[in-house]
Amino acid sequence: MQWFMMLLIFIAGIGVAVQSTVNGALGARIGVFEGAFVSFFVGTITLFLVMLFFGKGNVIEMFQVPKWQLIGGVIGAFYISSMVLAVPRLGVGASIFALVTAQLIMSSFVDHFGWFGMKQIPLDWSRISALLLMVAALFLYIRK
């Protein structure tokens, strides 16, 4: 099962690169926020249909969850808008590299401190070194 999850995430990573490319082109054509809106709109319709036919949860429970659990949509809108803006200017590779580096740094803090109810996984020198190498690699990657 673990290999399947890794494969699924690997394919999702490919999807993020393609999505960034498509959204960047869309934003360049119709506008940054308009492109982000259209992307979210199409995604919302898609997820609505998936939820309708395959969902097993209870969407009405969203009114009962802690309010901080609802900010994912706001963060997603910021992410999509940022990528729509950045990709045409920086390129897909540099944008994704910066994104992944930031994700690894923040997720390491989330793991280390156990924020948002996550299991605590200590940040050791090996991980810190890897993160510093990623930051250095990012600077080398974007250097002209």
pLDDT of residue 144: 79
pLDDT tens track for 101-141? 999 999 999 999 999 989 999 999 999 999 999 999 999 99
Residue pLDDT tens, the chain, 144 long: 889 999 998 998 898 889 999 999 999 999 999 999 999 999 999 999 999 999 999 999 999 999 999 999 899 999 999 999 999 999 999 999 999 999 999 999 999 999 998 999 999 999 999 999 999 999 999 987
Q: Are 74 and 68 a contacting pair, CB within 8 Å?
A: no
Q: What pLDDT score was predicted for residue 1?
A: 80
Report field, pTM of the whole predicted structure over 0.75: yes
Q: Which two tokens stand for residue 99?
A: 């994104």
pLDDT for position 38: 95
CB-CB contact of 121 with 111 (8 Å): yes
Which alpha helices (DSSP H) does 31-124 contain, by range? 32-54, 72-90, 92-113
